[in-house]
Amino acid sequence: MSRRYYHWALILFVVHCTSFLDRRNDFEKGVEFYKRGELQKAVEHLTAYYTKRPRSDTTLYYLYDCYKKLNKPLQGMKVLEQLVKIGTRDENVYLSLFSSYRRMKQYKKSFSLLVNAPPKVKKTFDDHYTLTRRLFAEIVCGVSKNPIRSDPIVFAVSKKYLPLFLDGKFHDSDTITNGNLIIILDKLIEPIYPEKFFALRNIPNDSYLYLPYMRLISFNIIDLKADLVPDAPASLTTAAQAVLNLKKRGIID
């Protein structure tokens, strides 16, 4: 064999051995590129790996962080959606996705996330968020069949789902208490006389809140909570479920 042919044969042998020895899968290669800061290459390998193994949540976490560092919020949001789809119980995933939906004004998706989240995640939402007039308005936008072309708070006030203050201002950052929520919801339903009455720990029978609360319970808009504190901030997920129940009754369009 001539020296030239021997030289090329040796090169081919080395290349073959190198590829044979590099048995790393796409996930391992993706993680290596991630550690090096070569994020676009990391995305390519991690995506290839995830396509073959769509239940790999670890791959999705790496992908999400890559997109976050690459400043690609839409792709990052899709990764979070996939984590929810495969059944993650990570509360931070839900919080991040909810925040993304709000930032991108995708109120139908943010509403769906609230009402369909597991009970533990719903508690996390309630602990993390204070129900404000703006959040309530976004919830209403999430169930409305009408296209939302204005600010959510403007839409909710124009449809009389939220009252307008006497000063003409929206006060969209104001906290909605349990008492506020009862009044807001009660104004949207028929003024019927409740079928049943229940004793409440913190709302006496002669309170202006008692009859509206009993009415909402009779309409199955909200569930009975005997220890409800009127001045405490209202639950975000309770408000979302109540709005959904109003929607099912055709009260909110």
Distance between first and last Cα of the chain: 85
36-51 b/e (C-beta count within 10 Å ≥ 16 → b): eeebebbbbbbbebbe
Is residue 224 pLDDT above 50, yes or no?
Answer: yes
Based on the fold, state whether residues 120 and 172 are members of the same structural domain: no
Q: Do residues 137 and 243 share a domain?
A: yes
Domain membership of residue 182 as a residue range: 133-248
Q: Which of 36, 105, 39 is nearest to 72 (CA)?
A: 39
Number of domains in the chain: 2
Partners of 132 in the beta sheet? 175
Q: Are residues 55 and 111 in the same domain?
A: yes
Given 113, 128, 143, the domain boundary residue is 128
Residue 152 has pLDDT above 90, yes or no: yes
Integer Cα distance of 100 and 80 in angstroms? 9
Res. 48: pLDDT tops 60: yes
- Cα–Cα distance list, 76 to 54, 72, 93, 94, 211 (Å): 16, 6, 11, 13, 47
- Section 174-188 average pLDDT: 97
User: How far is it, in rounded angstroms, from Cα 212 to Cα 192?
Assistant: 9
Q: Is the dihedral of CA 218, 222, 227, 232 positive or negative?
A: negative
Residue 108 has pLDDT above 60, yes or no: yes
Evaluate if residue 10 carries a pLDDT over 60: no
- Residues 112-134: what's their mean pLDDT? 97
Q: Note the pLDDT of residue 134.
A: 97
Query: Is it the case that residue 156 has pLDDT exceeding 70?
Result: yes
Q: Are residues 107 and 143 in the same domain?
A: no
Q: Is the pLDDT of residue 21 over 90?
A: no
Residue 31 included in any domain: yes
Structural domain contains residue 12: no
In which residue are the tokens 């590099």 written? 22
CATH number of domain containing 56: 1.25.40.10
Q: Does residue 234 share a domain with residue 145? A: yes
Would 253 be classed as within a structural domain?
no
Separation of alpha carbons 242 and 15, rounded Å: 65
pLDDT score of 169: 78
* pTM summary value: 0.88
Counting Cβ atoms within 10 Å, is residue 64 exposed (0-12), middle (13-18) or buried (19+)?
buried
Which two three-digit tokens encode residue 58? Answer: 């670890």
Gap between the Cα atoms of 129 and 120, Å rounded: 14
Between 25 and 18, where is the model more confident? 25
Task: Tokens 């009252």: give the residue.
Answer: 163
* Residue 81 sits in the same domain as residue 151: no
Final residue of a structural domain among 96, 128, 160 = 128
From CA 217, how far away is CA 210, in angstroms rounded?
11
Count CA atoms within 13 Å of residue 87 on its CB side: 3
Which of 6-10, 142-146, 246-250 shows the lowest per-residue confidence on average (mean pLDDT)? 6-10
123 and 137 in a single domain? The answer is no
Whole-number average pLDDT of the chain: 91
Average the pLDDT over 197-208 and give the result: 97
Same domain (yes/no): 120, 62: yes
Interatomic CA distance for residues 153 and 53, integer angstroms: 43
Q: 6 lies in a domain?
A: no
Tell me, yes or no, whether 8 lies in a domain.
no
Confidence of residue 22 (pLDDT cuts 50, 70, 90): low
List the single range of 16-25, 104-113, 140-149, 187-196 with lowest mean pLDDT.
16-25
Mean pLDDT of the region 157-182: 90
Q: Give the residue from 62, 95, 99, 98 showing the smallest Cα distance to 79.
A: 62
The region of weakest confidence among 8-12, 62-66, 80-84, 113-117 is 8-12
115 and 76 in one domain? yes
Do 94 and 172 lie in a common domain? no
Residue 235: pLDDT over 90: yes
Looking at the fold, whether 138 and 232 belong to one and the same domain comes out as yes
